[in-house]
Amino acid sequence: MRPALTIREFLNQYQQKLKLSFTSRQIGLDREIKLSRQAADTFDAADYFNVIRTSSIAVVGYQESRYIERLDADAQAALFNTLFRGPVCAVICSLGNLLPEAMIRLCEQREIPVLQSALSDSELLDNTRYLLSRALAEHTNEHGVYLEVYSLGVFITGKTAVGKSELALALISRGHRLIGDDITRFTRLAPDVVEGQSPQLLTDFLEVRGLGVVNIRAMFGANALKKNMPLSLIINMVELDRHNSTEFDRLGHISTTRKILGMEFPEVTLPVAHGRNLAVLVEAAARNHLLQISGYNSAQDFIQRQNQAIAKDEKTAN
């Protein structure tokens, strides 16, 4: 289910950025701005005033304002009554464009606030869409540590006490950057982009068993931190024991993925055992993923070389 944003929250967060002021009375503040991607009921969070394909926020620009002005009072009322059948919860007029007083009164009767912006048509709509696309994007919280490793968003998961934070600390000390510890909030910003960031309360901090909570900014400086990053790779830490020692892929030719917010991401299972340099292994996994993105697969290369050697031996034997 997609989140919603009330008009009150929208104004608290974006009133200054969008340079908004009330034209109507301050009403409808608890109405919710939403968007929908359902086939039978698709609508955007913000769009130009349109009674056919309505949106939560209807933007009245130059052309919309002039069209409304050309209509007589009855036609204006009919137009707005049609608009009210949709999901509209606010009307925003761009710089220099106003609604007739009678239309403002109609909106007030329906508890729909009318706002005026000091931004131009395109600037108002573009900025509103950008801000709402992030505020209303699908999101989920996942347990693990999120880092930037070689310009890749790498999410480290595993059972409690498996050593995720210790591994993160080792990677940070090697020059990589922390995004979030313990809980990472992933947001689907586009059909092919899931971005991760730390909740505000946990930003800068890393909990390491034996040391407690440490401030990475204070210890390593601001360059050791990154605010957000698109997700690229998942590392799943699993304790190595006699029961699972034969379960791991030796060649790396079996691809596994994990789904987050409907998108599949490559997942590498990293056996954890005494004496293994896990930070180096994560770096190697990240470098290998970069090679795969560029089209090179080392496991396939090795298998091909092995097959060529077998074929050569068979030819020599014959």
Is residue 244 in a domain? yes
Q: Is there a single domain that holds both residue 201 and residue 232?
A: yes
Q: What pLDDT score was predicted for residue 253?
A: 58
Co-location of 38 and 100 in the same domain: yes
φ/ψ bin of 158: left (φ > 0), alpha (ψ from -120 to 50), beta (otherwise): left
* pLDDT cut 90: percent of the chain above it: 52
Across 64-170, where does the E strand assignment appear? 90-93, 114-117, 139-143, 145-149, 152-158
The mean pLDDT value for 18-42 works out to: 85
pLDDT number for residue 92: 95
Show which of 135, 155, 176 is a domain's final residue: 135
| Same domain, residue pair 126 and 150 | no
Residue of higher predicted confidence among 35 and 50: 50
Among candidate residues 181, 174, 137, the one with its CA nearest the CA of residue 155 = 181
Q: What is the pLDDT of residues 59-77, one digit of tens each?
A: 999 999 999 999 999 999 9
CB-CB neighbours of 64 under 10 Å: 20
Provide the CATH number for the domain around residue 89: 3.40.1390.20
For residue 294, pLDDT over 80 is answered with: yes
Q: Are 50 and 163 members of one domain?
A: no
Q: Domain range for residue 20? A: 5-135
Active site residues: 143, 164, 182, 250
Q: What are the DSSP calls for 102-125, one per residue?
A: HHHHHHHHTT--EEEESS-HHHHH
pLDDT band for 39, please (50, 70, 90 cuts). low
Which residue did the predictor score with more confidence, 197 or 190? 197
Domain boundary among 105, 135, 165: 135
**Residue 298 falls within a domain, yes or no?**
yes
Mean of pLDDT over the chain: 87
